[in-house]
Amino acid sequence: MKNKPCILHKRVFIISSASVVGKKEKSGPLGHLFDLGGDDRFGKNSWEKAEAEMQRLSLGIALNKCGLKDENIDAMFAGDLINQCISSSYGLSNYKIPFLGLFGACSTCAEGMLMSAIYTSLVFDRCAAITSSHYCAAERQFRYPLEYGGQRPPTAQWTVTGSASFIISSLPRDIRRCSAEYIPEIVDVMPGCIVDKGLNDANNMGAAMAPSAADTLERYFSSGISPDDFDMIITGDLGYEGTGILEDLLLSKNIDITKNHVDCGNMIYDESSDTHAGGSGCGCSAVVMSADILENIKTGTVRNILFLGTGALMNTMSINQKQTIPGIAHLVHIKAAKKSDIIIDDMEEK
Amino acid sequence: MKNKPCILHKRVFIISSASVVGKKEKSGPLGHLFDLGGDDRFGKNSWEKAEAEMQRLSLGIALNKCGLKDENIDAMFAGDLINQCISSSYGLSNYKIPFLGLFGACSTCAEGMLMSAIYTSLVFDRCAAITSSHYCAAERQFRYPLEYGGQRPPTAQWTVTGSASFIISSLPRDIRRCSAEYIPEIVDVMPGCIVDKGLNDANNMGAAMAPSAADTLERYFSSGISPDDFDMIITGDLGYEGTGILEDLLLSKNIDITKNHVDCGNMIYDESSDTHAGGSGCGCSAVVMSADILENIKTGTVRNILFLGTGALMNTMSINQKQTIPGIAHLVHIKAAKKSDIIIDDMEEK
């Protein structure tokens, strides 16, 4: 196992992204930033079909933004929380693009970006990473049907209704066409290990995932890189509960991320949303990355970030069988590359 | 989208593999070939835990065979059929190896090999691909609890109880240590597209998956390669029903694979097994590839094959919601590389 980041063999850029969200997310603190949203049904007669439709829409918008079509994309990486990842397979079945299904639970957005970056730096020109989650579909699958009106403990997180898609390219002509001053560049990645610290409270996913995030960050920083090198260290969906645990775990190893750590689960809702410990789900980090963080990179407000998708690798049956909850965290390092500084002709040769 | 195979940038080899199976598979026509098997419980008190244990065992045996440990593997790719792929996360959580979760339904073995080959040819030295399925766990999740004694229609396939692991390496020292005369080399790969032809019979997965297998093979052969170039074209788990449909679909496009096509679902059981349309599940193609096909490659009996993992991307809820069944098929091209012909020193430079 390599305890150093995987450096990419070619420069790869996130040339486009799009976010689609539900009603609660649209009326939250980041609501004005999302590309589409405001409704939870998306014209469908089931929550599962609505979630699939969000994936279809977010990929369509992301392709539209960069003027590309199905045939321009060499592979798409997608996954979600629904059993057998059907939101991805049904949502994306109309796109004639080679499909590589992922399961990373809520870390799927980072896993898809990591995969896209590696593939784009080698065998393909352009890849897409897509993920989603839907509060209503997740509640009835993992907990109770909404009609039951189950009570939620204070450590519970709220599954984000949202989908985001990212188009990753290594083609000079794609970079030339980007209009932003800065273009998000994936510079290195690090896949996470499964970490199981024996937590078994299905209503406290933040605590179950925090040790895996700590593990990946510790491995990353062991190569001499410091947390202070980054403008932001962004975790996916640890929420209020997991955020404190992650920061404490790292402090005990003399790694201090408290100055620049933010969590997408803490950003997407505010207190008026009444979501208890914050947002979660594959869609959580995906829509925050697309609508907020990457946009700030494009303006140069943020220049150098670590994005750490966090996932809990359990299901309802494993909880019922008294198993503990393994976590995972995949890391993607993204920089703001000034368009005028990217020597595009050099890229062709590499 | 590229309609040609992805050529790997470095030579990568399957240096080791292992198969673990249940009672029915052990007593079937290939029973004597599997590394471990004969029991369905593997010392555990639930079917799901037994399936996870099979993954743990198969990876352990595969590592043992080539004298490697956790720390020698840079990443593992794994997935299975159980909701949220828990057989992989629980089965592999004790291995300190970066974990990239996949969901490809029954195509997972091919998807994992494809991923391992691409990663090993670029960013990593050695990867592992692991998958599994368990008849009893799958039956109660997808159909009925065993105790119910549900009747199975003639087109139904039997989920294989089995797990296999594959170690893929690009390191010259690993090749040197291989004792076989021939070493299975992954020469190119092609990820499949989601294909949905409107089939909706959950008891006829072969028919649902055949069009996706036809689609991938048609794309592969469109680059001028002929089915006759291969000793065998091996599909994962189309069974008796899907095999005929695939061959007919391709014949209608003037592609004739009937002379060298075999299906792992037709190989793992015989008539006395009473499994109706044949075997299926992630474990089906995985254990047949590990125990039979790759061993024949190592002796040079088989020299050049296409392995096509086939998967149905549905779940029980999508069937209940009257959705059709999308299929997918990923392709891996494997050759027998004569050890004495592999110019090992050349590998170092590439």
Kindly determine whether residue A85 and residue B313, on different chains, have CB atoms separated by under 8 Å.
Answer: yes
Residue of B nearest to A101 (CA): B103
Question: A269-324: per-residue pLDDT in tens?
Answer: 998 999 999 999 999 999 999 999 999 999 999 999 999 999 999 999 999 999 99
Residues of B in contact with A68 (CB under 8 A): none
pLDDT beyond 90 at A141? yes
What residue has token string 């291989």? B178
* Nearest chain B Cα distance for residue A291, angstroms: 26
Q: Which of A86, A195, A330 sits opposite B314 (nearest CB)?
A: A86
The confidence band for A263, taking pLDDT boundaries of 50, 70 and 90, is very high
Which of A8, A71, A89 would you mutate first to test chain B, the one with the most B CBs within 10 A? A89
Q: Residue B71 corresponds to which tokens in the numbers above? A: 């720390």
Question: B43-75: per-residue pLDDT in tens?
Answer: 999 999 999 999 999 999 999 999 999 999 999
Residues of A in contact with B117 (CB under 8 A): none
Kindly determine whether residue A99 and residue B192, on different chains, have CB atoms separated by under 8 Å.
Answer: yes
> Rounded distance, CA B299 to CA B127, Å?
23
Question: B305-316: per-residue pLDDT in tens?
Answer: 999 999 999 999
Q: Which of A70, A118, A328 sits opposite B99 (nearest CB)?
A: A328
pLDDT beyond 80 at B98? yes
Which of B45, B59, B94, B100 would you mutate first to test chain A, the one with the most A CBs within 10 A? B100
Ranges assigned E (strand) in chain B: 6-21, 36-37, 75-80, 99-101, 126-133, 158-159, 162-169, 182-190, 232-235, 261-263, 279-280, 304-312, 327-338
Q: Which of B86, B101, B315 sits opposite A86 (nearest CB)?
A: B315
Q: What is the model's pLDDT at position A2?
A: 72
Residues of A in contact with B8 (CB under 8 A): 123
pLDDT beyond 50 at A350? no
Residues of A in contact with B92 (CB under 8 A): 194
Q: Which of A85, A111, A314 sits opposite B86 (nearest CB)?
A: A314
CB atoms within 10 A of CB B259: 9
pLDDT beyond 80 at B35? yes
Residue of B nearest to A196 (CA): B93
Kindly determine whether residue A70 and residue B192, on different chains, have CB atoms separated by under 8 Å.
Answer: no
Mean per-residue pLDDT, A142-170: 95
Q: What is the model's pLDDT at position B348?
A: 55
> Rounded distance, CA A129 to CA B75, Å?
20
Kindly determine whether residue A118 and residue B115, on different chains, have CB atoms separated by under 8 Å.
Answer: no
pLDDT beyond 50 at B349? no
Q: What is the model's pLDDT at position A349?
A: 43
This model's pTM is above 0.80: yes
ipTM exceeds 0.85: yes
Kindly determine whether residue B84 and residue A86, on different chains, have CB atoms separated by under 8 Å.
Answer: no
Kindly determine whether residue B98 and residue A193, on different chains, have CB atoms separated by under 8 Å.
Answer: yes
Residues of B in contact with A2 (CB under 8 A): 74, 124
The confidence band for B141, taking pLDDT boundaries of 50, 70 and 90, is very high
Question: B3-27: per-residue pLDDT in tens?
Answer: 789 999 899 999 999 999 999 999 9
Q: Residue A144 corresponds to which tokens in the numbers above? A: 């109770």
pLDDT > 90: what percent of chain B? 93
* Nearest chain A Cα distance for residue B118, angstroms: 8
Residue of A nearest to B219 (CA): A98
* Nearest chain A Cα distance for residue B342, angstroms: 23
Residues of A in contact with B75 (CB under 8 A): 191
Which of A46, A102, A103, A126 would you mutate first to test chain B, the one with the most B CBs within 10 A? A103
Residues of B in contact with A49 (CB under 8 A): 321, 323
pLDDT > 90: what percent of chain A? 93
Kindly determine whether residue B124 and residue A73, on different chains, have CB atoms separated by under 8 Å.
Answer: no
The residue among A148 and A343 whose pLDDT is bigger is A148
pLDDT beyond 50 at B350? no
The confidence band for A117, taking pLDDT boundaries of 50, 70 and 90, is very high
pLDDT beyond 70 at A236? yes
Q: What is the model's pLDDT at position B38?
A: 82
Kindly determine whether residue A46 and residue B321, on different chains, have CB atoms separated by under 8 Å.
Answer: yes
Q: Residue A117 corresponds to which tokens in the numbers above? A: 């970056």
Using CA atoms of A87, A91, A97, A98 in order, give the dihedral in degrees to the nearest 10.
20
- Phi/psi at B72 (5° precision): -85, -10
Mean per-residue pLDDT, A151-171: 96
> Rounded distance, CA A199 to CA A89, Å?
31
Element (H, E) at A335: strand A327-338
Q: What is the model's pLDDT at position B13?
A: 98
Kindly determine whether residue A190 and residue B98, on different chains, have CB atoms separated by under 8 Å.
Answer: yes
Kindly determine whether residue A100 and residue B102, on different chains, have CB atoms separated by under 8 Å.
Answer: yes
> Rounded distance, CA B80 to CA B86, Å?
8
Q: What is the model's pLDDT at position A4?
A: 87
Residue B337 β-bridge partners: B183
- Phi/psi at A40 (5° precision): -100, -10
Residues of A in contact with B49 (CB under 8 A): 321, 323
Kindly determine whether residue A98 and residue B313, on different chains, have CB atoms separated by under 8 Å.
Answer: no
Q: Residue A291 corresponds to which tokens in the numbers above? A: 């609508």
- Average the pLDDT over each of A148-162, B89-103, B120-134, B331-345 and give the range with the smallest value: B331-345
Residues of B in contact with A100 (CB under 8 A): 102, 104, 111, 114-115, 191, 330
- Average the pLDDT over each of A130-134, A147-151, B346-350 and give the range with the smallest value: B346-350
Element (H, E) at A297: helix A294-299
Which of A194, A200, A315 would you mutate first to test chain B, the one with the most B CBs within 10 A? A194
CB atoms within 10 A of CB B69: 11
The answer to whether residues B2 and A124 touch, using CB atoms and an 8 Å cutoff, is yes
Q: What is the model's pLDDT at position A108?
A: 98
Q: What is the model's pLDDT at position A346?
A: 59
- Average pLDDT score over chain B: 95
DSSP, collapsed to helix, strand or coil, labels residue B312 as strand
Kindly determine whether residue A98 and residue B196, on different chains, have CB atoms separated by under 8 Å.
Answer: no
Residue of B nearest to A79 (CA): B103
Q: What is the model's pLDDT at position B345?
A: 59
Q: Number of A:B CB contacts under 8 A?
A: 187
Nearest C-alpha neighbor of B254 from the set B223, B289, B221, B276: B221
Q: What is the model's pLDDT at position B117?
A: 97
Q: What is the model's pLDDT at position A223?
A: 87
